[in-house]
Structure 1
């Protein structure tokens, strides 16, 4: 009987602290490496920085395209200049125009 009391006393003295240490280790591991832990938080912050950088790049590209589109509006284009440029790039001329030939190395633009 004496041996049973000793075993009960030892078990009663070791099981609660062992359970407490086990629970503490479990929650400590989840705080660091769990799904919502510190490592996941750092990874999410990194993804957030990448997303903000991509948003800045997209906004800058959008501004470039908006500026280009604004330049294509009817009031922004000079029709004579546009006609002249289109015909010079396509190497076309009307019958009533005077064409002045340039040398091979003389560029208009």
Structure 2
């Protein structure tokens, strides 16, 4: 014969809330301190800003180099630019010239 009566235990009513608190604590901790948590997001944002500045510097440098290369291309060869680059590469100057190297 089956009965619906069973003895309730005091410990039994704390198991489910304890498991729920453990899960919430675990995921809450990792939301803040995890690899993709709030602190990591702040670090990623700082790195993004630094690298954006570096990118702007590199883009400006590339544009300057592209402009210099376009002056040396076949279609629009600039004689002064060609002379300047040749003298710089060959380390050549005339006796009455003053040479200032600017990198």
TM-score by length of 2: 0.61
Task: Name the structure 2 match of 1:17.
Answer: 17
1:42 CA drift (Å): 2.0
Give runs of ≥4 in structure 1 deviating > 4 Å: none
Q: Deviations over 1:27-69 (max 9, x none)?
A: 1001111122122222222222222222111100111112222
Counterpart of 1:97 in structure 2 is: none
Please give the secondary structure, in 2, of the residue aligned with 1:43: helix
Q: Which sections of structure 2, spanning at least 5 residues, go unmatched?
A: 1-6, 99-103
Root mean square deviation, CA, Å: 2.9
Structure 1 residue aligned with 2:46? 46
Q: Hey, which of these two has a bigger chunk of helix by percent?
A: 1
Indicate yes or no: 2:36 matched with 1:36. yes
- CA distance in 2 between counterparts of 1:33 and 1:57 reads 33
Q: Per chain length, whose mean CA-contact separation is higher, i.e. which structure has more relative contact order (CA < 8 Å, sep 6+)?
A: 2
Partner of 2:59: 59
Deviation (angstroms), 1:78: 4.8
